[in-house]
């Protein structure tokens, strides 16, 4: 109380209210009320601001309270003590790898939030972490069937599926993000397990669900029940779609004869990237996202028009390759501008991410070369690209050596969903005509002990060795005038319940100039 002119003046005090702990950081900084819409709240969207949710806390299910995702004491995790131990591994090891070189809030924030609030996702994450530890214990030997799987690991996998089925048995519908995140975990589990046929089943199911999702605020009451997606969801639908885009691209590269089905949501993402490439890019993650979407567009567009309805009838192979080549050139120019402005500020992981982008564009420059626009089967053109193959091997070696320094344990299987290393290495191993470079690529595949989504380094190394053996044997057997023997395609049929596959090596026009395809050899590959 103060005096002024002999009168007492009462100082007004501010109303005391508890601080709001929810809402985006942008609205908090501006000191305005946030409507908490995700991935971007209405206030940020309407004013063109970036909506930042990076430091959101993690709600827990049951009576548990989670405040710091990775550093929580075990007693604060839901589930049993054994489950909590494996989840601790998931938080500190698995998410670090799954987020990849480019970093991703989806794995170190959104998924952790989902794990402690959704039992189905919790058990799926625990199953993946337990299997990764068991797979690491058998990394130096070939293990057939499921003899390395513990009852605990398998039970966690089954529990995750049972929780999902529980929604339907109670006449309820799980939200779209719960089903899609579980689907991603099931793909991870089957990939680690080596059952790639089953992983592909989960992938196809997830892609179908992704195309059927409808926003909760646009639901038609008279329409059949479908999966609903809320804009207040803890997981961004765009992030989920991007993961499925990457896995879809890997599947199309691994299985060229894979049937392509129309997916309007992935088409929306890929066409958006093809139509508009931001200049300059604001982060390495953005440059990677654009490259992934262009790759998916390219592979899908090169499928036959009967399978791919997204390709207009007037489009030709040459026009598609030219379009994709142009878009990759534009995206690489955006990447280079980003590096000019921000490259000096990158940490060690950022520099490896930049190397991964260089690898991506090197592969694109060779796959989309003009020589392939008129003759898709002319494998001899790769003789002209030894410099690019050598550069890819140097960059990949740098990434592998850098990842070996991570505190993941010497024998821990490196598992990520980004195809930064194995895809390019396999490309060098089967397309490079320089014997030393080819053997170096195969050696890196064999020794890297990596899984990148659907790509398994051990499986790829064996296939690449067979390709090299067939091609070099054909060259040695023929005279100086003989046409070089080149594998034009590799047909893979995975076993549904074992870590093995039937691999067919196909040669087009082996002994004459016809387009007849000949299966040069079939191998049963076990890894």
pLDDT for 159: 96
pLDDT for 463: 96
Residue partners of 76: CB distance under 8 A and separation at least 6: 60, 64, 65, 66, 67
Residue partners of 459: CB distance under 8 A and separation at least 6: 501, 525, 527
Do 280 and 341 contact (CB within 8 A), yes or no? yes
Reported as a single tens digit per residue, the pLDDT across 470-487 is 988 866 554 444 456 788
Q: How many CB atoms lie within 10 A of CB 1?
A: 6
Helix (H, G, I), strand (E, B) or coil at 419: coil
336 domain residue, yes or no: no
Mean pLDDT for the chain?
80
Least confident of 99-108, 178-187, 211-220: 211-220
CA distance 76 to 88: 11
In 281-432, alpha helices (H): 284-301, 317-342, 348-367, 371-374, 386-404, 422-431
Reported as a single tens digit per residue, the pLDDT across 88-118 is 999 999 998 898 898 778 898 899 989 988 9
Q: How confident is the model at residue 393 (pLDDT cuts 50, 70, 90)?
A: very high
Do 181 and 111 contact (CB within 8 A), yes or no? yes
pLDDT for 10: 56
CA distance 477 to 491: 25
Least confident of 113-117, 137-141, 256-260, 465-469: 137-141
- Burial state string for 429-445 with b = 16 or more CB within 10 A and e = fewer than 16: bbbbbbeebbebbbebb
Which of the pair, 527 or 456, is modelled with greater confidence?
A: 456
Least confident of 209-213, 284-288, 302-306, 437-441: 302-306
Helix (H, G, I), strand (E, B) or coil at 43: helix
284 domain residue, yes or no: no
Q: Say yes or no to pLDDT of 75 above 50.
A: no
pLDDT for 483: 59
15 domain residue, yes or no: no
71 domain residue, yes or no: no
Q: Cite the beta strand spans of 14-85 per DSSP E.
A: none
421 domain residue, yes or no: no
Q: Say yes or no to pLDDT of 410 above 60.
A: no
223 domain residue, yes or no: yes
Residue closest to 352 by CA, chosen among 417, 411, 406, 388: 406
pLDDT for 147: 58
Least confident of 50-59, 192-201, 203-212: 50-59
> Mind giving me the DSSP string for 130-196?
HHHHHHHHTTTS---TTTT--HHHHHHHHHHHHHHHHHHHTT----HHHHHHHHHHHHHHHHHHT-H
Q: Residue range 264-290: average pLDDT?
A: 80
Q: Say yes or no to pLDDT of 304 above 60.
A: no
Orientation angle between helical segments 317-342 and 264-275, nearest 10 degrees: 60
Do 52 and 45 contact (CB within 8 A), yes or no? no
Containing structural domain, residue 133: 79-235
Helix (H, G, I), strand (E, B) or coil at 225: coil
37 domain residue, yes or no: no
Q: How confident is the model at residue 62 (pLDDT cuts 50, 70, 90)?
A: very low
pLDDT for 20: 54
Q: How many domains does the chain have?
A: 1
pLDDT for 524: 94
188 domain residue, yes or no: yes
Which of the pair, 200 or 311, is modelled with greater confidence?
A: 200
Which of the pair, 168 or 385, is modelled with greater confidence?
A: 385
Q: Say yes or no to pLDDT of 489 above 80.
A: yes
Radius of gyration for the chain, computed over Cα atoms and rounded to the nearest angstrom: 26
Reported as a single tens digit per residue, the pLDDT across 15-30 is 555 555 578 877 877 7
Q: How confident is the model at residue 250 (pLDDT cuts 50, 70, 90)?
A: very high
């Amino acid at each position: 109380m103060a005096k002024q002119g002999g009168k007492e003046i009462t100082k007004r005090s501010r109303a005391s209210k508890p601080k709001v702990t929810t809402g985006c950081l942008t609205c908090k900084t501006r000191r305005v009320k946030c409507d908490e819409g995700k991935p971007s709240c209405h206030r940020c969207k309407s004013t063109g601001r970036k909506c930042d949710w990076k430091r959101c806390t993690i709600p827990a299910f049951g009576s548990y309270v989670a405040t710091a995702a990775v550093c929580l004491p075990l007693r604060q995790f839901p589930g049993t003590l054994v489950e909590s131990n494996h989840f601790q591994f998931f938080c500190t090891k698995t998410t670090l790898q799954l987020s990849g070189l480019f970093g991703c809030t989806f794995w170190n924030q959104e998924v952790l939030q989902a794990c402690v609030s959704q039992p189905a996702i919790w058990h799926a994450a625990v199953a993946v972490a337990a299997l990764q530890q068991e797979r690491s214990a058998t990394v130096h030997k070939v293990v057939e069937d499921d003899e390395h799987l513990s009852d605990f690991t398998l039970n966690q996998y089954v529990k995750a599926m049972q929780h999902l089925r529980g929604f339907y048995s109670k006449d309820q519908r799980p939200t779209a993000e719960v089903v899609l995140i579980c689907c991603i975990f099931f793909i991870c589990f089957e990939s680690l397990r080596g059952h790639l046929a089953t992983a592909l089943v989960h992938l196809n199911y997830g892609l179908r669900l992704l195309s059927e999702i409808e926003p909760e605020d646009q639901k038609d009451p008279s329409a059949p029940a479908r999966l609903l997606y809320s804009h207040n969801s803890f997981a961004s639908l765009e992030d989920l779609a991007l993961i499925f885009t990457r896995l879809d691209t890997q599947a199309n590269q691994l299985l060229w004869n894979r049937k392509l089905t129309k997916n309007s949501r992935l088409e929306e993402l890929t066409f958006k990237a093809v139509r508009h490439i931001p200049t300059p890019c604001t982060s390495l993650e953005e440059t990677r996202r654009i490259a992934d979407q262009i790759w998916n567009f390219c592979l899908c567009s090169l499928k036959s028009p009967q399978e791919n309805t997204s390709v207009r009838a007037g489009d030709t192979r040459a026009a598609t390759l030219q379009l994709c080549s142009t878009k990759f050139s534009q995206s690489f120019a955006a990447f280079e501008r980003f590096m000019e402005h921000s490259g000096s500020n990158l940490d060690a992981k950022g520099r490896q991410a930049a190397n991964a982008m260089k690898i991506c564009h090197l592969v694109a420059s060779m796959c989309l070369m003009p020589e392939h626009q008129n003759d898709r089967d002319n494998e001899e053109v790769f003789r002209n690209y030894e410099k690019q193959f050598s550069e890819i091997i140097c960059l990949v070696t740098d990434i592998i050596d850098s990842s070996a320094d991570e505190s993941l344990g010497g024998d821990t299987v490196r598992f990520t969903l980004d195809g930064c290393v194995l895809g390019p290495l396999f490309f060098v191993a089967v397309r490079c005509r320089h014997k030393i470079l080819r053997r170096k690529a195969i050696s890196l595949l064999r020794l890297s002990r990596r899984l990148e989504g659907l790509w398994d380094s051990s499986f790829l190394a064996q296939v690449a060795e067979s390709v090299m053996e067939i091609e070099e044997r054909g060259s040695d057997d023929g005279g100086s005038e003989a046409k070089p023997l080149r594998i034009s395609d590799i047909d893979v049929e995975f076993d549904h319940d074992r870590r093995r596959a039937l691999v067919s090596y196909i040669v087009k026009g082996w002994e004459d100039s016809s387009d007849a395809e000949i299966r040069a050899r079939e191998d049963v590959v076990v890894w």
